[in-house]
């Protein structure tokens, strides 16, 4: 072939990538809630999201987002509450809230922090909130079946800002297509999903004029300075202490006569953490030997760790050390997502667990049942792997927060000030070592919120962990709390 022919070949236009198609499958079902029968439709499908190019006047496809929506039959959609749900990670699909507490089907989990044996199964969810609100479960890009379209790099969506914008665009488009702009609207997020929800509460208002009735935050993290054990940041050592104490109490590592009641213990530990312990850490190396010994003694009393170990740790208990040290003599580790769970590692002398026992207990049941459910009951077929919780989204970009801790609490505060009708519900697990409840309280106590809006914030607590709904009594209580919140905020 001549050079001229080569040049002509290069100049030929490449065939454009095929236009991505949306796929929707609708099925009809019935759920029995007590004596009531609730008929509903389920839609499993993908929505292609596009980005508007102002210069070219084009709407270029960017991502195909998978979702599952449930709509109660026989109700006026425009007036019925509508809730958008997602989990966190980053890198998590929406499976946990979907099959754990909110949707019409739920995973059959073992009570009392037990690990279910395969094969796993789904049950009708007597505690679904579908009787109160229609539900839409969203999988961000690279989670679930959601993917960037051909020719687009997935990593552009792997960051706080672009992830938030993409989910906001999904919510806007779904609301428009389904004619739900006049419905009472809610967000519910878990873990990093609360970070996303808080950011969305303000972004949806400012970018799309879409005002919400309520935001539900399950195991919240809005201010990352409260959970990151970085050198020079003493805040997490203070804010994790009550959860360390709750964990030690649960595993009978504390004096039972001294602390017969969990709430009484936590009240005492919270006061110590917010006062004597905070002042001690503030002094740093200036803290005298006698005072240091006294603080170590108190910490040992509350955590079940030895005062010698605490002194060697400079009075600072890192979460990963705690999960290994608490039950070291029994050669057991405790869970991060839910510290009621325990397991054993190969290296009992190590400083970091080999795996999180609480995640190991839920990964198999939720993965198996979700994959079976989508094909068998919702009739949605795809040969892609359904990414339950993937590391493919990392490194996650926080470029908008360079040289500072991520903090979206200010976005939630602004949303509340702009929309005084906005209500916020916060669910906390006492045994959650991923997003401890005392850190959440600290964050909300530092919102600098107008005093008139303090009543807009409701907090509830459960004797369980990060996914508190896998604990049967907490599941019952959470359904009641969520239902009351939605009715009140609607």
Average pLDDT over residues 345-371: 94
Average pLDDT over residues 476-484: 98
Average pLDDT, the chain: 94
User: What integer pLDDT is reported at residue 278 of this predicted model?
Assistant: 98
User: What integer pLDDT is reported at residue 55 of this predicted model?
Assistant: 66
Q: For the domain bounded by 22-225+362-489, which CATH number is listed? A: 3.40.50.1820
Per-residue pLDDT tens over the stretch 208-221: 999 999 999 999 99
Contact 103, 206 (CB under 8 A): no
Q: Which are the contacts of 183, defined by CB distance < 8 A and separation ≥ 6?
A: 77, 78, 79, 80, 81, 82, 134, 175
pTM of the predicted structure, to 2 decimals: 0.94
| CA–CA dist 264, 259 (Å, integer) | 7
| CA–CA dist 368, 9 (Å, integer) | 50
What tokens does 3 get? 């050079």
Per-residue pLDDT tens over the stretch 53-68: 766 666 899 999 999 9
User: What integer pLDDT is reported at residue 54 of this predicted model?
Assistant: 64
Give the model's confidence band at 113: pLDDT under 50 very low, under 70 low, under 90 confident, else very high.
confident
User: What integer pLDDT is reported at residue 10 of this predicted model?
Assistant: 52
User: What integer pLDDT is reported at residue 13 of this predicted model?
Assistant: 54
Give the model's confidence band at 75: pLDDT under 50 very low, under 70 low, under 90 confident, else very high.
confident
What tokens does 54 get? 């102002």
Give the model's confidence band at 360: pLDDT under 50 very low, under 70 low, under 90 confident, else very high.
very high
Q: What distances in angstroms separate CA 105 from CA 30, 123, 294, 361, 447, one per listed residue?
A: 11, 6, 52, 19, 36
Give the model's confidence band at 338: pLDDT under 50 very low, under 70 low, under 90 confident, else very high.
very high
Whether the per-residue pLDDT at 43 is higher than 60: the answer is yes
Residue spans of the domains in the chain: they are 22-225+362-489, 236-355
Burial of 113 (0-12, 13-18, 19+ CB in 10 A): buried
Whether the per-residue pLDDT at 252 is higher than 70: the answer is yes
Whether the per-residue pLDDT at 12 is higher than 60: the answer is no
Give the model's confidence band at 15: pLDDT under 50 very low, under 70 low, under 90 confident, else very high.
low
Map tokens 């907490």 to a residue. 474
Q: What distances in angstroms separate CA 87 from CA 28, 108, 189, 371, 420, one per listed residue?
A: 25, 20, 5, 17, 26
Whether the per-residue pLDDT at 455 is higher than 60: the answer is yes
Whether the per-residue pLDDT at 9 is higher than 70: the answer is no
Q: Report the percentage of the chain scoring pLDDT > 90.
A: 88
Average pLDDT over residues 156-174: 97
Give the model's confidence band at 477: pLDDT under 50 very low, under 70 low, under 90 confident, else very high.
very high
Give the model's confidence band at 7: pLDDT under 50 very low, under 70 low, under 90 confident, else very high.
low
User: What integer pLDDT is reported at residue 6 of this predicted model?
Assistant: 58
- Letter string b/e over residues 322-331, b meaning 16 or more CB atoms within 10 A of that residue's CB: bbbbbbeeee
């Amino acid at each position: 072939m001549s050079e001229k022919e080569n040049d002509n070949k290069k100049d030929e236009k490449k065939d454009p990538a095929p236009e991505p198609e949306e796929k929707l499958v609708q099925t009809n079902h019935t759920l029995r809630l007590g004596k009531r029968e609730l008929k509903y439709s389920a839609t499993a499908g993908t929505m292609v999201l596009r980005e508007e190019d102002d210069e070219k006047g084009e709407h270029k496809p960017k991502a195909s987002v998978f979702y599952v929506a449930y709509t109660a039959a026989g109700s006026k959609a425009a007036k019925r509450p509508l809730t958008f749900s997602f989990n966190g990670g980053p890198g998590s699909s929406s499976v946990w809230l979907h099959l754990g507490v909110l949707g019409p089907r739920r995973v059959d989990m073992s009570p009392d922090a037990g690990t279910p044996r395969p094969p796993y199964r789904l049950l009708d969810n007597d505690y679904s909130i579908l009787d109160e609100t229609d539900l839409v479960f969203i999988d961000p890009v690279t989670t679930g079946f959601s993917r960037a379209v051909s020719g687009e790099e997935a990593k552009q969506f792997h960051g706080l800002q672009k992830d938030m914008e993409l989910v906001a665009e999904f919510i806007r488009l779904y609301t428009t297509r389904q004619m739900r702009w006049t419905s009472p609207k809610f967000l519910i997020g878990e873990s990093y999903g609360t970070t996303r929800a808080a950011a969305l509460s303000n972004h949806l208002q400012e970018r799309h004029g879409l005002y919400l009735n309520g935001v539900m935050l399950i195991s919240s993290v809005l201010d990352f300075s409260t959970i990151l054990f970085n050198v020079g940041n003493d805040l997490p050592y203070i804010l994790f202490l009550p959860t360390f104490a709750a964990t030690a109490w649960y595993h009978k590592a504390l004096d039972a006569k001294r602390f017969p009641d969990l709430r009484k213990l936590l009240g005492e530990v919270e006061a110590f953490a917010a006062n004597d312990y905070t002042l001690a850490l503030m002094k740093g190396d200036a803290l005298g030997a006698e005072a240091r010994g006294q603080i170590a003694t108190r910490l040992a009393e509350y955590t079940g760790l030895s005062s010698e170990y605490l002194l060697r740790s400079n009075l600072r208990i890192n979460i990963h050390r705690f999960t290994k040290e608490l039950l070291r003599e029994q050669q057991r580790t405790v869970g991060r997502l839910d510290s009621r769970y325990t397991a054993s590692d190969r290296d009992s002398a190590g400083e970091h667990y080999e795996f999180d026992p609480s995640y190991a207990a839920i990964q198999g049941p939720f993965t198996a049942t979700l994959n079976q459910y989508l094909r068998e009951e919702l009739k949605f077929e795809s040969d892609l792997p359904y990414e339950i919780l993937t590391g493919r989204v990392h490194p996650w970009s926080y470029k908008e927060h360079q040289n500072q801790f991520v903090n979206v609490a200010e976005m939630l505060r602004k949303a509340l000030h702009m929309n005084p009708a906005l209500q916020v519900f916060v669910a906390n697990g006492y045994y959650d070592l991923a997003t401890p409840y005392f850190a959440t309280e600290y964050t909300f106590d530092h919102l600098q919120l107008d005093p008139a809006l303090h009543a807009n914030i409701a907090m509830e607590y459960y004797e369980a962990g990060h996914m508190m709904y896998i604990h049967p009594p907490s599941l019952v209580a959470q359904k009641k709390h969520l239902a009351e919140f939605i009715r009140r905020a609607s």
